[in-house]
Amino acid sequence: MTEIARGLEGINVTATKLCRIDGLKGELIYSGYNIYDLAEKSSFEEVAFLLWNQRLPNKQELDDLKAFLNKERPLDGVVERLIRELWPHVRPMRTLEIAVEVIGAIDPDSSDLTQPTLRKTAARLTAKMATVIAAYDRLRNGKEPVAPRDDLGHAANFLWMLTGEEPTELAKHVMDVAFILHAEHEMNASTFSAMVTGSTLSDMYSSIASAIGTLKGPLHGGANEAVFKTVDAIKEEKNIAPHVEALLGRGERVMGIGHRIYKTTDPRAVILERLGHQVAETSPDRWYFDLSLKLRDYLARKLEGKPLYPNVDFFSASVYRMLGIKSDLYTPIFALARITGWTAHLLEQYADNRLVRPNALYEGAANREYTPIANR
């Protein structure tokens, strides 16, 4: 083979029952369920069960999952002490990456790759990663971590641990939907990274650490923080045109616009925009959202005729800001949701494993003779 698919674009590396994307129609399907239906009618816990089992749970199964998540929310003392040591020196995504490795290191069953144990590991990581990020943010703000509450769902409990305040019903709903929208997205870069690591039969914790390291890049999950920085730098509508022209003049991208798969508006962006209008009604930071809308409209005119539309990162930035969340937590929140999709793909990988080992086309020198160092 002499053809090269740069970035593996257009290459099917596996088969999956988890997710289908139609980039031309703007469709996102989780195991047969449309993302619009799941965002409107479901919960993050239901979606997690769906991805791990390819079906929705009955009431008892959902109650059992919630109970397991509740039990796994508290952090081991080793992990909590680690976060206390790390926060002055390390950014949140790196903290999350390290914490996942340590959680795995102290799990005596980390090397058990049987499906029942892997499912427990997936749920354990889903529960504990949220606590890690909330504790990190509290500590760096000079506050003690807030203990999780058993009477709150996963998204609401995360907001509670983050702020120490009872979240509003709207905030609970928005966070829950945001988790659902970010839960899974087929064979993206971080999922592939997890799959490559898992294919060596390394444990799930190491595979997830690989995924986290991949997600934090600005061309992947880090794009949502980059969107916030763009809007924050623009500040006023009159600055949109010169700021965008300067970006494009330097050959840079406008983050949050365009997607490798979608050739129309990302359906997740559609849902987040709708939620953004609701949050903006009472938010003192609504100008971020309003300015994002104006930036979107300007780019639509500027890029007319090109398949470049808002993706999920574009509106998640302003929605999270209006919820009072710091910009460097946007990508960790992405990870707190995507852990379900990552682990679901790993369940498939481990169940029918083949080592990922692609080829590379050699274009280097040929037939070179070795010269002793004295003659060089």
Q: Given 176, 203, 266, 313, which residue is catalytic? A: 313
220 catalytic, yes or no? Answer: yes
Of 345, 332, 350, whose CA–CA distance to 191 is shortest? 345
Q: Given 203, 259, 266, 345, which residue is catalytic? A: 259
> Do the strands 33-34 and 19-22 form a parallel or antiparallel pair, or are they unpaired?
unpaired
**Long-range CB contacts for residues 97-103, cutoff 8 Å, separation at least 24:** 97/209, 97/212, 97/213, 97/216, 99/128, 99/129, 99/132, 100/125, 100/129, 100/132, 100/205, 100/208, 100/209, 100/212, 101/205, 101/206, 101/209, 102/78, 103/76, 103/79, 103/128, 103/205
Q: Which two tokens stand for residue 123?
A: 């749920």
DSSP string, 135-184: HHHHHHTT-PPPPP-TTS-HHHHHHHHHHSSPPPHHHHHHHHHHHHHHS-
**Residue 245 CA to chain centroid, in angstroms?**
29
64 catalytic, yes or no? Answer: no
Q: Which two tokens stand for residue 240?
A: 């949109």
Q: Given 220, 243, 266, 345, which residue is catalytic? A: 220
182 catalytic, yes or no? Answer: no
Kindly list the catalytic residues: 220, 259, 313
